[in-house]
């Protein structure tokens, strides 16, 4: 029976690459799931970061910033369509994660901008970063660099996340 179960789990992971690649980091009530980045051209000075944050606590917390060994600056940005044109702007005041809620930072919405890349971001590599929360403080994470078109972050409960507001 165990062999059948192991085979079924392995088959599920291979069928859904996001599940096989999922990784999470915890600090107190904050759970950071699947920090990921995308490869950049050799001359790029800007990269991206995507992840999902769950607040398992009883009080709201706020992601206020961070840092990364891959870049000079770590910024929170949001994309929006204005008059049919996609525009990015910094997120002022951070991103609130309500108790029991999960917020996803992903392509086409709110995300991390890695400004002043020190080296190209290469598929298959990873880099260390630190997320800074108003209450939880600094949470060390590791971003895995996944190919363009990789699946969206999946929560620690296995659900695809909603987007940050």
Whether the model pTM is above 0.85: no
**Mean pLDDT in residue range 36-49:** 96
- Show me where the domains of the chain are located: 23-145
Q: Say whether domain 23-145 belongs to CATH 3.30.590.20.
A: no
Q: Residue 109 has which token pair?
A: 């919405």
pLDDT in tens, 111-126: 999 999 999 999 999 9
Sorting pLDDT into bands at 50, 70 and 90, what band is 162?
very low
Q: Tens digit of pLDDT for each residue in 51-62?
A: 999 999 999 999
Rounded to 5°, angle at Cα 41 from 140 and 114? 30
pLDDT for the residue 106: 92
The least confident of 13-17, 18-22, 83-87, 137-141 is: 13-17
């Amino acid at each position: 029976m165990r062999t059948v179960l192991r085979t079924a789990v392995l088959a599920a992971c291979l069928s859904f690459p996001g599940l096989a690649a999922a990784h999470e980091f915890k600090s107190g009530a904050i759970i950071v799931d699947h920090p990921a980045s995308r490869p950049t051209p050799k001359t790029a000075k800007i990269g991206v970061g995507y992840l999902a944050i769950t607040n398992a606590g009883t009080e709201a917390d706020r992601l206020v910033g961070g840092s990364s060994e891959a870049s000079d600056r770590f910024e929170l940005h949001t994309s929006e369509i204005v008059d049919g044109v996609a525009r990015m702007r910094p997120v002022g005041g951070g991103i609130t994660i309500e108790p029991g809620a999960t917020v996803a930072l992903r392509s086409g919405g709110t995300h991390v901008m890695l400004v002043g890349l020190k080296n190209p971001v290469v598929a298959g590599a990873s880099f260390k970063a630190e997320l800074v929360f108003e209450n939880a403080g600094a949470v060390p994470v590791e971003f895995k660099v996944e190919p363009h078109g990789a699946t969206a972050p999946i929560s620690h409960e296995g659900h695809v996340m909603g987007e940050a507001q």
